[in-house]
Structures are given as structure tokens and as C-alpha cells.
Amino acid sequence: LEEGARSCLLRSRHRLEQDIKPSYLMDHMVSDGVLTVDEEERIRTQPTRKDQAVALLELLLRKDNRAYISFYNAMVKEAYNDLANLLHRDLPRSSTSMPFYSLQAVLSEGGVPQRPVVFVSRPELVNRVREKLYRLQKEPGWVTVFGMAGSGKSVLAAEAARHHGLLEECFPGGIHWLSIGQLDKPDLLVKIQLLCFRLEQSLDSQSLHRTPNTLDEAKERLRFLMLRRYPRALLILDDIWDSTVLKAFDLHCRILLTTRNRSLTNSVSGAIYEVEVESGLDENKGMEILALYTNTKLHGLPEEARSIVRECKGSPLVVSLIGALLKEKPNRWPYYLRQLQQKQFKRIRKSSSYDYDALDQAMAASIEVLPDEHRELYKDLTVLEKDIRVPAKVLSVLWELEPEEVEDILEEFVNKSLLFVDSHNKPYLYYLHDLQLDFLVEQNRTQLESLHKKVVHQYQQHYRDGPPTSGDEDCLYWIRFLTYHMAKANLFQELYSLMFSLDWVSTKAQLMGPAFLINDYVEYGPILDKENCEVRSQFQEFLSLSGHQLEQRPFPDVVQLALSQPHTSEVYRQALLQARDQAGTG
């Protein structure tokens, strides 16, 4: 047994002996194979519970790391939360049967977010979630983590998943993260299509299926994948707002979801376990965040620190935002406290679902301190879609700035907690917290159209000599979102000429598969129909007939595919032109 673990056992021995019921714990340990039936029997024959506990600990001290981990897991499963916490810090890492990096690999493959840079542990909550997750070991069901905006639900969900025992024992099929947020039906379809796509890709099998075109089809595909290919995988649905969304995932699988709305799971079937996240951190944890941001010892914090934490009732989001501000301006403790107290930022959100004055204030405060020109640049981020992560290059096009300059600005935003960075990825990807995006949209409500126009114009300017190619870091972004920005900018002519073009269809299908394209025609159908509803339906027809071929690699010859369309179709007409062109030049 590792030294740390050993000393931890010795330190906690007295409390453990007082509290544990060895017979329950030993069941788990025997099934983990770290305790033999004989050993168990010998301990069971001790006359009292306490004697049994003494004997079990004695034996444990002579065993290896695996036994310690199994003991710990058993405590978690039996909901000895406080006691498990005592042992948690000294859990041996290196000797678990699954090496540390592979847990990390599974999580990042599943898209589970990393810890925030400044992070404080909430062991009791994490254990409560883990303990519920263990209940999904034998049968499917739901674990709901609910609580107020910014209370740390997503961070908590990710943290709970970061656990060898869970992964090995309960979710050997992996853990898959899906950010949901506020969605309408077409968005939901795309999310599920993407999830299916991701799951199929990791199977390494060439998928020969048609892209599901409707929500029902997508749901069936997901059901098949989860039941047959990924049994005993965990799906984490982050930030669910709507019970219709949840119904789409009511497939008899294992799901952890985070939401502000506790009653959502009323409408789904199966076992449901709930964990409430109290809206605030306790005072000392809040202080710890401030100390970490400002690089101060806990007892070296000024007296305002406690008042700040109290003022925002320990909201992790607000404390973090203010911590980030203080990191930059360490002498502003009294100032930020006053700002919070006076609530001097006018409430921007009218019908707020957040009940949070402090949130708006903290957010506004963070933006307030930016230099004027950077505040303008930050405003440009209003047009990003929720949960979409962009490489710096997109912003370099949007802002028309040198990459190095963009890098510095983004770093400033990240340091101020105004922006988040996913450094798993090379190049890094940047994204806004959904509350920040809500805030920006609310604040710039009247300028949305012109902000989207700016995006389209900057793109056209930058790529005037030809569209980006797959070598460009920002290529995927533009191919995916150009139509979205055009539609929001009311630039309808631009939208028609893109979406009524076989070239565009071919490019987008090659880079992203047909799902996004089909979704574009559904989503912007009403706009396109104003120009020409026949052409719109011809393109859509083409996609739904050729969808499965467009998914295959090597990528098929789109002109050939298009030539099999009816001769009255615009798709056919464009293909014919191209075929003649090629015949002419080749």
C-alpha cells in the first residue's frame, strides 16, 4: 500500500472504526476480488460491529493499492460520503487497473470538459452524484443534477465523471457529453445527428446508414447505437431546458443531466435519482476561489473577501468572475465589493429566469473594465451560436487583425473569465459561457442584424479570391455557419446564391456530411421559398435521396450523382453544365 494511502488510513482509523458497517463494504470488496471469501468469513466471525471494523482495517493496511481503492469505492457506494472524503485525497493513482491517462483519454474523446483553471473541490456534492451514478450500474435510468444558473452544475457533472471506478464498473462503454442549452427542433435534430456520427466514428466502422432526416429517425438510430453498440455507456446532457428535448433521449439508457428545472424528468420513464446543487459555495470555498485567483493565502485575504462572497451568496460563477477581475487589479477589493452592494449596474434582463442581480452585475463589471476598443470586439462575439467553439482564426477574419494580436486579445478575455478556452484541441478553441452569451444578446438586442452583417462582409472580404479550403483552420466554421449568419443578417440574396449552388452543396457535404445541409434547407426553407420554392425542394430532394452516398468516403462524384436527378431539376441543370465544362477542359 502506497505511503500516502497508508498514512491516511492510520489517521482516519478511529473514525472509520466508529462508523463503518464492514459487512456491507466487504460485499463490494469481495466482488472486486481484493478480499477473499475466507478473509471475509474471518472478519464476520468477530463478535461486534466494531471488532469487525478493527479487523477489516488491520487487514486493509496489509493489502495493496487496489484494495484501498476498492474500499473507497465501497464507501462511496454505501453513501459514507464524509468518510469517503477522508480517504479521497490519498487515493493511489498509478496502480489502478486503468492507467490515469486512459481515463483522461476516454473523457476527452467523449467531449467531457476539463476542470476550470481555478477549481475548488466540492467533495460532498461530487460523491453524492457519484453515488447516484453507481445506481445506474445494474439498470438504466436518470440522474438529474439541478440548481440555479451558475451554481456549478456542469463543472460538477464533469468532475463526477472523472472517476476510474465509475468508468470501469458502471460505464465501460464510455462517457459522452452533449451540451444542449436552449434548442428548437431542428437544432435538436442536428445535435442527435452529430452524436450518432461521433458514436459511429469511434466504432471505426464505415457507416452505411442514411443520415436520419427526422427527429424520429434520429432517435431510432441513437436507440440502436446506445443499446447495441454502447450498452453501459453514460450520456451526459448538459443544461436541458425543455422536456420535449429530454423525451428524445428517453431510450432506456443511462443519462446524467444538468438543468435549472427540476421537474423536467417528470415526463420520462425509468428510475430517476436527483441531486440538488445548492446555489452557493460555503463561505470558505468561495474565499478559496478568490485566494487562488489573486494568488494569496486564505488568511491573507482582505476583509472585503468575505463580504464579496456573502454578497453574491457564494455563487461560483460570480465569485469566479470577480476573482478574475481582482487578479488583474488586486487593489480593487473595496471597489468591486461596493459595486456588488450598490447593485449599480442596471438590470438588463427583464424576464430573468436567474433571480440573480449579482450575476448581471458581475458580468457587466467584467466587460466594463475592458479598454473601449476591446469592448467593441467582445460585442462582436454576440453572434456566436451557443456552445460553439471557434479557433482564433475566425476572429482574426472577423476583426481583421493579425493572428498574434488576436491571440493577445483572446488571452485577455480568457483571463478575465469573459471567455473560455478548450486547450485539448490544437488550435485552441474559444467559447462563451451560455450565460455570457445570453447577456450579450440581451445587451445588443437591437444590433443583432448589423453584427451578423459584419461577419458576412468580413468573410467575403477576406475570402474574395476563393472560399477557405480544408487546410484553413477556420474552414469548418465558415462552411457550417455562413448560411446562419446570412439568414440572421437578412442577406437573403447571398443566402440564395449559396444554397442554390451545387458547388456549395458538394463542399459542405464533403467537409461535414449531409446532416448539416439537410438541416439548412429545413431551417431556412421559409426564406428560400420566397425566392423559389421549387428549386428549394429540388435541392432538398437531391439531398435526401443521396444522403447516404454523401456520407461515404472516398467522397463520391457529386456531379454524377446529380445527373441522376430528373431533367427538370435545377440540380440536374447545374450538374450538366459542369459535366460539359469538364468535358470541354479535360
CB of 121 to ligand ADP, least distance (A): 7
For residues 95 and 114, which CB has a smaller minimum distance to ligand ADP in the complex? 114
For residue 256, give Cα distances in angstroms to 156, 240, 252, 275.
11, 11, 13, 10
User: Which residue number places its CB atom closest to ligand ADP?
Assistant: 152
Q: Which of 122, 313, 485, 488 binds ligand ADP (CB under 6 A)?
A: 122
HSE-up (13 A, CA, CB side) for residue 186: 12
For residues 118 and 495, which CB has a smaller minimum distance to ligand ADP in the complex? 118
For residues 96 and 296, which CB has a smaller minimum distance to ligand ADP in the complex? 296
Q: Is residue 418 within the footprint of ligand ADP (CB under 6 A)?
A: no
Q: Which of 54, 119, 187, 522 binds ligand ADP (CB under 6 A)?
A: 119
For residues 212 and 314, which CB has a smaller minimum distance to ligand ADP in the complex? 314
Q: Is residue 144 within the footprint of ligand ADP (CB under 6 A)?
A: no
Q: Which of 35, 53, 155, 180 binds ligand ADP (CB under 6 A)?
A: 155
For the beta carbon of residue 532, count every other beta carbon within 10 angstroms: 13
Q: Which stretch binds ligand ADP (CB under 6 A): 44-52, 67-75, 313-321, 514-522?
A: 313-321
Q: Are strands 429-431 and 420-422 parallel, antiparallel or unpaired?
A: antiparallel
Q: Which stretch binds ligand ADP (CB under 6 A): 117-125, 170-178, 453-461, 526-534?
A: 117-125
CA 325 to chain centre: 25
Q: Is residue 152 within the footprint of ligand ADP (CB under 6 A)?
A: yes
For residues 156 and 486, which CB has a smaller minimum distance to ligand ADP in the complex? 156
- Helix (H), strand (E) at residue 202: helix 185-202
Show the site string, 272-311: x = touches ligand ADP by CB under 6 A, - = not.
Answer: -----------------x----------------------
CB of 303 to ligand ADP, least distance (A): 22
Is the CA virtual torsion 482, 488, 489, 494 positive or negative? positive
Residues binding ligand ADP: what is the number (CB under 6 A)?
18
CB of 294 to ligand ADP, least distance (A): 14
Is the CA virtual torsion 556, 557, 560, 565 positive or negative? positive
For residues 147 and 547, which CB has a smaller minimum distance to ligand ADP in the complex? 147
For residues 9 and 289, which CB has a smaller minimum distance to ligand ADP in the complex? 289
Contacts of 479 (CB under 8 A, 6+ apart): 468, 507, 508, 511, 512
8 Å CB contact between 496 and 531: yes
Q: Which stretch binds ligand ADP (CB under 6 A): 49-57, 116-124, 381-389, 513-521?
A: 116-124
For residues 153 and 452, which CB has a smaller minimum distance to ligand ADP in the complex? 153
8 Å CB contact between 122 and 276: no
CB of 155 to ligand ADP, least distance (A): 4
Percentages helix, strand, coil for the chain (3-state, rounded to 5) are: 60, 5, 30
8 Å CB contact between 314 and 282: yes
Q: Which of 52, 70, 73, 151 binds ligand ADP (CB under 6 A)?
A: 151
- What is the rounded distance in angstroms from the CA atom of residue 155 to the CA atom of residue 233? 20
Q: Which stretch binds ligand ADP (CB under 6 A): 83-91, 212-220, 314-322, 469-477?
A: 314-322
Mapping DSSP to helix (H, G, I), strand (E, B) and coil, where does residue 527 land? helix
For residue 125, give Cα distances in angstroms to 79, 106, 430.
12, 23, 28
CB of 424 to ligand ADP, least distance (A): 16
8 Å CB contact between 474 and 430: no
Footprint of ligand ADP on 317-346 (CB under 6 A): 317, 320
Q: Which of 132, 433, 453, 508 binds ligand ADP (CB under 6 A)?
A: 433
Contacts of 12 (CB under 8 A, 6+ apart): 83, 86, 87
Q: Which stretch binds ligand ADP (CB under 6 A): 145-153, 183-191, 366-374, 522-530?
A: 145-153
- What is the rounded distance in angstroms from the CA atom of residue 143 to the CA atom of residue 240? 13
For residues 128 and 508, which CB has a smaller minimum distance to ligand ADP in the complex? 128
Q: Torsion angle, CA of 158/204/219/189, rounded to 10 degrees?
A: 70
For residues 292 and 563, which CB has a smaller minimum distance to ligand ADP in the complex? 292
- What is the rounded distance in angstroms from the CA atom of residue 13 to the CA atom of residue 54? 8
- What is the rounded distance in angstroms from the CA atom of residue 31 to the CA atom of residue 146? 33
Task: Provide the binding-site residues for ligand ADP, judged by CB under 6 A.
Answer: 116, 118-120, 122, 149-155, 258, 289, 316-317, 320, 433
